[in-house]
Structure 1
Amino acid sequence: MRTGFFWDERCFWHAGGNYALTLPLGGLVQPLAAGGLPESPETKRRLKNLMDVTGLSRELEMRHAPEASWADLARIHPEDFLQEFKTLSDAGGGELGLRTPFITGGFEVAALSAGLAKAALLAVLRGELDNAYALSRPPGHHCLPDWPNGFCLLNNIGIAIEAAKAEGLAGRIAVIDWDVHHGNGTEAVFYDRDDVLTISLHQEYNYPLDTGDITDRGTGAGLGYNMNIPLPPGVGHDGYLEAMDTIVVPALERFKPDVIIIACGFDAGIYDPLARMLCTAETFRLMTRQVKQAAADLCDGKLVMVHEGGYSEAYVPFCGHAVLEELSGSATAAADPMAETVAIRQPNARMNSFFSTLIAEMAEELLGSRA
């Protein structure tokens, strides 16, 4: 299995400066790590370090990529937004949108993050790789065409998709977003189109508070090609696998994509500070297995994963390692040090029954109309 891993040390250097939501810095207010943002480079750096220590890195095709070009970005984002972003970045940094601070050079790092996603997708579509993982940072799935938010400055996956389409490499593309927060940006980009199927599994009413409802199905030609699976807090291993099996995979089978992209956030993990889900490293491994099998059945195995959220510095590396083991077929393992603990913290039988009924109802609603 030729699995590519796209990364760049410069992505770890993205920062928000001394950024705090409510308190001024100085005096008795100690500056906060990572500028006060939970979107820290350490979750990604520690994943890469773990791969190096276990030897998994040596089994993958480790690649770099150039920044996405201005033309690449402009297929998704308006020129005036890009110019404002670039001007502010050159002037020392600042903030656009909501919770998207950046320092000098933030524009270039965001373009590099998008470039990693683009390069991963193009390499798979060209047949250079069987599948690929892009360790993109800053993330992208919350960024609307003209309004960045939720730590996301550019829409990495949207930019990659439009670059692939510009080269005539794919017609129908499916995006599965299992980040715990609703993929509102990617939804907005493709909401009126029938050539891109967008599916978001997320904790209901987490972030953003006012998007991600099951009734938001697209508009115009895109009606039925946007699917939201809002899950209540507390869903764990069994519930996520059931949602994938009963909703996501059948939707893929109906759509018959040329390639599948996963917006791969790890914040549904049990130790994440920004969510209340109970997924484990094994959950992410088995969801990867489900999608990998669907890709083998539907699109010659063409599968690309783009890193999104995940804020537990200790646990994200093990979730990511499990995904990459499965993606590449590697036997190089990083045993989950919390496996026994997380196993006993899963929902009980009564709660799993409730979640199962809810997922079945959502499957009936979502799959009963065009997808």
Structure 2
Amino acid sequence: MTALGKQLFFDASLSGSGKLACASCHSPDHAFSPANALPVQLGGSDMHRTGMRAAPTLKYLQSVPAFAEHYHESDDEGDESVDAGPTGGLTWDGRVDRGADQARIPLLSSFEMGSTPARVTAAVKAAPYADAFRAAFGARIFDSDEATFKAVLQALETFEQAPGIFYPYTSKYDAFLAGKAQLTQAELHGLQLFNDETKGNCASCHISQRTRDGAPPQFSDFGLIAIGVPRNRALPVNRDPHFYDLGACGPERTDLKGRAEFCGLFRTPTLRNVALKKRFFHNGIYDSLELVLRFYAERDTHPEKFYPVVNGRVRKFDDLPRRYWDNLNTEPPFDRKPGDKPALDEAEIKDVVAFLNTLTDGYEAGGKVVAEKTKAVAAN
């Protein structure tokens, strides 16, 4: 099943255009996120259509819980009485819980792979691995397009759970936690700032400590949160001034439509391998970690750096209607006012970036980060 999933993941013939594979937007060499710096990826039948969201990493999703409006920690992880709020789900808006359901979305999306169950079935029947597919799912699996499509989703889900590929825990920080590597002075200072509740406070959502049972940190609490990311006017969908991507309350997710308390909320991604990414946030607004950290540090002290200024006034939170502003996070570093000292200065931002670079998988003793051998996945 895993071997079939690998082949399906790299097979562009599954798409409507015949040119787009899962791996096209989820490159193994970039922690299964895009290899290019486009804010959103191109797809559709002509490979020129765009969506509204950046393609997220597919790594380290094995611990994401099923979506819950009110998530309570388990017995071995903390106090069950603590309500962590909306948490979980595998997409930016948390609308699906299973890897198979997640894989279904891009395969059928008109602006992504733009395929159909019938086309997927035809592609698999004509593929070199067709006999292996029959062996895994039965000699008559191709009798039904829906059964074939379901089997494809199952194989993709199985592949994306392969621990050595999708959650290897081979970063320098993992080696540091195991006592097998030392962080530099800059990396240690960056970690301190990352954890400091009065400075970066990053660890409040991107947990950096081992769990109580000793499991490696996931660098996400998988919660859904609103932080008021600026509108990305480079996205064609945003040419419509009345359009807003409101995350958990729509438009892609529909079951929470009309629930104002969920508008503007997006799931907190893992920061593992974040240094390999070329675009950040759900709308791909920024193209460097430095810009991301400056936004966190100065969103409220110098909003004019991030939001439009019209007639001398800053249009803050320009991608979220005012009626939803009560949902915005105001915990540190978002607890400051214009004119206050930013949570992080440029030197501190540099050190936090140095620390974030220690979260890249493929670290080897001697201080090197080597490319993961995921290219072999395609050959296998």
Q: Do these two structures clear the TM 0.5 threshold for a shared fold by scoring above it? A: no
| Between structures 1 and 2, the one with greater helix share | 1
Larger Rg: 2
| Between structures 1 and 2, the one with greater strand share | 1
Q: Which has the higher contact order (CA 8 A, sep 6+)?
A: 2
